[in-house]
Structure 1
């Protein structure tokens, strides 16, 4: 092997080592404190021994009851995911994130299906209205079941000064030995979309909370 391939291999190995030791822990815990990452959240018991765990969080300067409606209307064909619609739609998700709370999208219940795309969805596994929403399922590989079980928890915690901590936790339980080869790369994409979603929810909730009452948009429109 010549010096150039050796150098290239060394750079690649160094980059992978840096990602695994620094980049990966950072994006799996983006915005969350050590206590939040270590503490239990609703839905943890559904996959007790997770093979991969991500906990992300953001502070929203609005009370929890003004943040919850944005969580309740998550989903394709509903409020969207408040992230990067253009990127999601490039792969056929047909997402159109709402700019306001829509009353007819607020009646979420256990057993409902929250769609990620027109033919792909997750089930509402747990619900504590106003506090937490836990989705469960997986994205199939064509006609084959996904090689993992998955939960996606959205948890609101009221803080002093009419602020809210929004925590989002992903838990993966592998059902096939090779599942990590699929999940690990996907988790990097999930981080980018989740960070965009958290910021999108914060922007919407804070804007609605600070708008003069007579200028707040009336519920009903989806854009």
Structure 2
């Protein structure tokens, strides 16, 4: 419940700030100036900022490469983000497979997405057996089900209606791993999807970036010899 309320509060606060800025400009100048400011800001975000955060950390090859789950939404689009981890794929996998609310957490900002509980900083044996059909909860009672899984390689969750999410581990030349994440959807352009792009989109980027960096840090720390298994 705390996670739901926190996320709803953040989205509402962002919307209120946007409305407040427009209202202030309209009061100080006029409505047309306020609308022009909004148009410039939206175009600036869509043309300059959004393309950058949509592919944070990913190479051209990774953005263009087909990933597991793409076939469920052939005409889909969405962000592809990646990070290099100095650990082998089989050493990163245990951290990835235990992800989710009510499991090891999301390795992101826990006060937002894990009811304030810290995400696991060790490999938890009871969360290692993820199967097709199991939910990966994002909020209490809500989360996409696993559609396909290949140990040490990738997890695909979601569905064609709401979108698919893929985490994939690719061996790097130096013996490390490229962790690549892709969200794919084919939503029609509506006020709701535009709202998602402008307000929720940056928030999801901030959360996912933190997740990738935390997985990297914990997998590399474990590989360096730290104890990782819960007794």
The answer to whether TM tops 0.5 is: yes
Deviation of the 1:96 alpha carbon? 3.7
The more displaced of 177-186 and 15-24 is: 177-186
User: Partner of 2:212 in structure 1?
Assistant: 198
The number of residue pairs the alignment matches comes to 204
Contact 1:102 1:220 in 2 (8 A): yes
In the alignment, the residues of structure 2 paired with residue 10 and residue 176 of structure 1 have an alpha-carbon distance, to the nearest angstrom, of 21
| CA RMSD in angstroms, aligned pairs only | 2.3
Deviation of the 1:121 alpha carbon? 1.6
In the alignment, the residues of structure 2 paired with residue 218 and residue 200 of structure 1 have an alpha-carbon distance, to the nearest angstrom, of 15
Contact 1:154 1:166 in 2 (8 A): yes
Q: Deviations over 1:183-220 (max 9, x none)?
A: 32322211111101000100100111113xxxx22511
Q: Rate the CA distance shift 1:42–1:121 in 2: closer, same or farther, 3 A.
A: same
Deviation of the 1:173 alpha carbon? 2.3
Q: Rate the CA distance shift 1:73–1:30 in 2: closer, same or farther, 3 A.
A: same
Contact 1:58 1:167 in 2 (8 A): yes
Structure 2 stretches lacking a partner, 5+ long: 1-25
* In the alignment, structure 1 residue 81 sits paired with structure 2 residue 103: no
In the alignment, the residues of structure 2 paired with residue 120 and residue 95 of structure 1 have an alpha-carbon distance, to the nearest angstrom, of 18
Deviation of the 1:69 alpha carbon? 0.6
Q: Which has the higher helix share?
A: 2
Structure 1 stretches lacking a partner, 5+ long: 139-147
Deviation of the 1:117 alpha carbon? 1.8
In the alignment, the residues of structure 2 paired with residue 135 and residue 94 of structure 1 have an alpha-carbon distance, to the nearest angstrom, of 25
| SS state at 2:169 partner | strand
User: Partner of 1:53 in structure 2?
Assistant: 78
User: Partner of 2:196 in structure 1?
Assistant: 183
Q: Which has the higher strand share?
A: 1
Q: Rate the CA distance shift 1:129–1:87 in 2: closer, same or farther, 3 A.
A: same
Contact 2:73 2:184 in 1 (8 A): yes
TM-score when normalising by structure 1: 0.83
Deviation of the 1:116 alpha carbon? 1.3
In the alignment, the residues of structure 1 paired with residue 84 and residue 132 of structure 2 have an alpha-carbon distance, to the nearest angstrom, of 27
Match of 1:114 among 115, 136, 140: 136
Contact 2:106 2:113 in 1 (8 A): no
